């Protein structure tokens, strides 16, 4: 039924060619920015999504590539692990790193697919400073060892392929830090839009 209506609508509009309006610009974003339900119990800041970041993506016509949550991928939604073991300690094992490396390879493959077709990746947006998988702490433009396990593996995969992308932690656990991070994202999006 919908297919028929869709066809009739375009016949009425005498539409013969589809217009492609994509900006060909995108940002890679951790899952919990798009879906706060992915956060560990007690860690969600917003009821559904980090709306300020998503609004900026919409405002500046920046698409989103979702980075899967490494905690959910490796431990499940409830973060099942050994008694007394932190999520960080669970991820920072051989098996946890293999999981994070697989996610990283998938994400970098997708980034390369896009960039090989003329798309531009503007940034990788990670998580809060204490996130076991997605925290971003930078020193001299590189991810430091106290960053999340996934972000370490992701930067390693990018470096192996000689791809440079700025990383930024979205620190929504602190309103002042979040405001600074939003301004950073706005600046990156507006500079890249002008170029």
- Residues of the chain short of pLDDT 70, as ranges, are 1-18, 192-195
Within a domain: residue 2? no
Within a domain: residue 48? yes
Long-range contacts of 10-19 (CB under 8 A, 24+ apart): none
Domain assignment of residue 148, given as a range: 23-194
pTM: 0.86
Rounded to whole angstroms, the Cα distance separating 145 from 133 reads 12
Containing H/E element for 126? strand 120-126
Within a domain: residue 179? yes
Within a domain: residue 133? yes
Within a domain: residue 5? no
Reported as a single tens digit per residue, the pLDDT across 41-88 is 888 898 999 999 999 999 999 999 999 999 999 999 999 999 999 999
pLDDT, residue 191, reads 87
Which CATH number covers residue 181? Answer: 3.40.50
Within a domain: residue 13? no
**Domains in the chain: how many in total?**
1
Within a domain: residue 3? no
pLDDT, residue 142, reads 82
pLDDT, residue 59, reads 96
Within a domain: residue 18? no
């Amino acid at each position: 039924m919908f297919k028929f209506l869709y066809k009739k609508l375009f016949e009425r509009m005498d539409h013969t060619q589809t217009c492609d309006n994509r900006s060909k610009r995108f940002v890679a974003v951790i899952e919990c920015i798009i879906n706060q339900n992915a956060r560990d119990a007690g860690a969600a800041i917003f009821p559904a999504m980090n709306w300020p970041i998503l609004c900026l993506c919409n405002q500046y016509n920046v698409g989103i590539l979702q980075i899967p949550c490494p905690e959910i991928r490796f431990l499940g939604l409830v973060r099942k692990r050994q008694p007394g073991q932190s999520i960080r300690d669970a991820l920072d094992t051989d098996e946890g790193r293999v999981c994070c490396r697989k996610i990283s390879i998938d994400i970098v493959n997708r980034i390369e697919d896009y960039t090989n077709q003329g798309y531009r990746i503007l940034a990788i947006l990670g998580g809060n400073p204490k996130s076991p998988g997605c925290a971003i702490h930078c020193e001299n433009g590189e991810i430091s060892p106290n960053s999340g396990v996934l972000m370490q593996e992701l930067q390693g995969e990018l470096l192996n392929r000689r791809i440079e992308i700025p990383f930024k932690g979205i620190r929504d656990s602190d309103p002042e830090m979040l405001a600074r991070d939003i301004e950073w994202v706005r600046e990156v999006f507006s500079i890249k839009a002008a170029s």
